[in-house]
Amino acid sequence: MRLGTPAGRKLGSAVDRNRLRRRLREAFGRVRPMIDRGADVVVVPRGQAMKAPFGELVDALSGALVAAGVIRKDRGEPDSAGEEAVPEP
């Protein structure tokens, strides 16, 4: 699996863009165990991502991957701490 995070200059300085890329890589690492097959993921961050709490980044990324069909709904979604939620029987 690969993750691409293009971040243009509109998002801020190089320091800010690189910090955002690191946060997105970590969020992807939290979601990665739920992906059962290889996939190339490209996340195009918007301005709101710069100030979003980490839990919101993880939730938004997992929601987008579920909508894209990369993560099955029955695999559960991570909570804000990044732990995988176990589906109720």
Domain ranges of the chain: 2-75
Q: What is the pTM of this model?
A: 0.74
What secondary structure does DSSP assign to 16-67, as a single string? Answer: HHHHHHHHHHHHHHHHGGG--S--EEE----GGGGTS-HHHHHHHHHHHHHH
What local confidence, expressed as pLDDT, does residue 12 receive? 86
Contact assessment for residue 5 and residue 21, using Cβ atoms and an 8 Å cutoff: yes
Q: In the predicted model, is pLDDT for residue 15 greater than 90?
A: yes
Question: Which CATH code of 3.40.50.150, 3.30.230.10, 3.30.70.270, 3.40.50.2300 fits the domain covering 2-75?
Answer: 3.30.230.10
36-80 pLDDT per residue, tens: 777 788 989 888 888 899 999 999 999 998 888 888 766 555 554
Side-chain half-sphere of 26: how many Cα atoms within 13 Å? 14
